[in-house]
Amino acid sequence: MTDTQRPKTDVEVEIFDGVRAPDGSSPVEPVRLKGQDRFNFSCHRGVSCWNACCHGADVTLSPYDILRLCRNLGLRPREFLERYTVPAVWERADLPVAKLKMGGDDGTGPCAFVTEDGCTVYEDRPATCRYYPLGLATVKMKGHQTVEDFHFLVKEAHCRGHDEDHRQSIDQFRAEQGVEAYDRVNRGWMDILMKMTSWRTVGGPFGRDLAPPTRKMFYMVSTDVDALRRFVFETRFLDIYEIDPDVVDRLKTDDEALLALGFDWLKNVLFNERTITMKEAVLHDAVAKAREDMGAT
């Protein structure tokens, strides 16, 4: 069963919602889809709209997108970002992100990776491209501590894939498109986007008043594992936080583990969540300093 009525929520965030019509209208069908719900869609070279969705697309790159594309292209993150992305703001959370650069002066041209034969980085294409024509949303119900994911269908006027006689479930489509790894690695990042959106929605202490250095750190964690690794190993980070020695060794080469640490650190900094532990001596000194600043004895 699909829910056509959306209950009241604390916050609902669309993470990978594809593109929007040029006139500003939304092609999103207002129906929540779960794993066993079915829809018709197929994309292949014989469809008349072949490659149309690869022009002027609005693709926010997730941290794992950037990792995979860098590996595919043999580039380090900074070089990849300079060549293939434009800086942007994810408006609902007012956080800086990187978007895939489209061709043309107005950004309505083709993606740099598309050719007449299709996508040249198909095995490592971004999550938005994998999900299309589905969107992924995460929602936190009022009074609930956990979040719930659901999907929705995007039916743009140009897309003829919906006319194809290929019916499948959401779960079948997800498995075929290989999105599970993307969702798993990006989960901490998605949690931060949702939390920031929630704070802005209810008028919390974050949002547009977030300090520029903090915004810069979020962008670094989200886009550049090289810079994040330097931050962990070339600053006092490991002197401040309790990180298991085996984990420290793993962080030297494991980018996915490094991202997980980065997300945990951001949650600690932004929301004071106990996702990472400060060393006892450091914590003691911080408390003492705070008491001193307040004039306590």
Residue 124 has pLDDT above 50, yes or no: yes
Query: What is the pLDDT at residue 197?
Result: 83
Between 160 and 290, the higher pLDDT residue: 160
16-64: pLDDT as tens digits = 445 455 555 678 887 889 999 999 999 999 999 999 989 999 999 999 9
The phi-psi region of residue 209 (left if phi > 0; otherwise alpha if psi is between -120 and 50; otherwise beta) is: alpha
56-73: pLDDT as tens digits = 999 999 999 999 999 999
Farthest-apart Cα atoms in the chain, separation = 77
Mean residue pLDDT of the chain comes to: 85
Specify the DSSP element, H or E, that contains 84. helix 77-84
Query: What is the pLDDT at residue 236?
Result: 95
Query: What is the pLDDT at residue 243?
Result: 94
245-258: pLDDT as tens digits = 999 999 999 999 99
Burial class for 258, CB neighbours closer than 10 Å (0-12, 13-18, 19+): buried
Query: What is the pLDDT at residue 27?
Result: 80
Q: What is the pTM of this model?
A: 0.86
Q: Are strands 148-153 and 134-141 parallel, antiparallel or unpaired?
A: antiparallel
203-221: pLDDT as tens digits = 555 544 688 999 999 999 9
Query: What is the pLDDT at residue 143?
Result: 63
Q: Where are the domains of the chain?
A: 9-197, 224-293
